[in-house]
Structure 1
Amino acid sequence: MESSDFLGFLKSRGSIRSYTGEQIPKEEVEYILRAAATCPTAGNREAWDVIICRQEDLLESLADAAFNQEFIAHAGTAFVICANYVRSMSRYGERGILYAVQDATIAGCYMMLASHALGRATCWIGAFDEEEVKDILGIPAHARPVAILLIGEGKEQAVSPERMPIHEHMHEDFW
C-alpha cells in the first residue's frame, strides 16, 4: 500500500451514529479480533479484553449507561473494550494500570480500523458510566471498560470532520 493510500484510508473513516441494526457476522468479528491481536502492547502483556454485545436488551442498557446515547441500541454490534490490569500489573506494578489502558486503547483503534477495512461503520464511544457498564456486563474489579466501539451497517456515509492544522499539535525538542 502506498503511503498516500493509507492516509486516504484513514481520512475516509468517520464516526457514524445511525445504523440499520444488522449484526456483523462472526467471521468479521474474528477478523477484527485477529487484527487487534497484532497491536503492540507494553511488555507484550496484551492487557486488553473485549466483550462482544449483540443482544438487543444489552445494547439498550449500554445506550442508557452511555448517558442516553440511544443510537447505541440500534448499532447491531458493540465491542466493549476493557483494560485488564492484572496482566500488566503482574510485571509493572502500579504503572501497569496505565499500560493496560494504553494497551486497550491501541487494540480498540486496531479494531476500529479493521472494521473500516471491512466496509463497516464505526463509532467510538468514550462517554459512559463505567460502574454501570461494569454491572451490566459483569466486568470484574481488575478490569476497566475504556471504550464502547459500535460496528455495523451505517445508514449514512462517513464525513471527515475539519481538523486542526498538524503544526498546532507539534512541538520540536521542547514544549
Structure 2
Amino acid sequence: MPIVWQQPLPADFAKLPEEELRRRIQSAKAALNHELIILGHHYQQDAVIDFADFTGDSFELSRKAAQQKHARYVVFCGVHFMAESADILTDPHVSVILPDLGAGCSMADMANLDQTLDCWDQLAHACPDQLVVPITYMNSSAAIKAFVGEHGGAVCTSSNCRQVLEWAMDGGAQGKTR
C-alpha cells in the first residue's frame, strides 16, 4: 500500500540521547496508562520490544488487541496488514496506530484488490459450474480479506491452514458439494 506522505518527526527528536527517548516513551505510557497498548511483532528491534505490552506473531497480536477492552489506542509496531487486522478486530472506538506508514510486507503486496478481482472473473469464466471458495493468507490487505469474506471464503494462518483448506474442499460455508 503506497503512502503519499507521513508527518516527519521533529528534527530535534533524532538528536535526543537514547535515555531521553526512553524517558519520554515511559512518560507517555504512564500518562495514558491502560488506555494505550503497544504491540511488538517478533521481528522488531529490542529497543521497540522493550516498550511492547505484548509480543508475538501478527494474528496473535491482533487478537490481543481485540481483548483489551479498556484500550483507546493500539500502537502496532509491525506492517500495514497487521495494523489493518487489529483495526478490524478491535472495537470501533479504538484507534489503531502504525508508527511507520511506509512499513510494508512484500508478501501482502504480491496481489492487490484489482488483481484479485481479475483473477476471480477469470476463474468464474473458466469454471462456471464449479464452486470456488476463496482463501487468502493473513499477510494480505484488508481489502482482499473483505473480498474473500464477501465471497464465502476464509483467512488462512500458519496455524489453521490445514483446517481452512479442508473446510474449503468440503464446500466452505455452502457445505459439501461433491
Scaled by the length of structure 1, what TM-score is found? 0.24
Structure number with greater CO (CA < 8 Å, separation at least 6) is 1
**Higher Rg:** 2
Scaled by the length of structure 2, what TM-score is found? 0.24
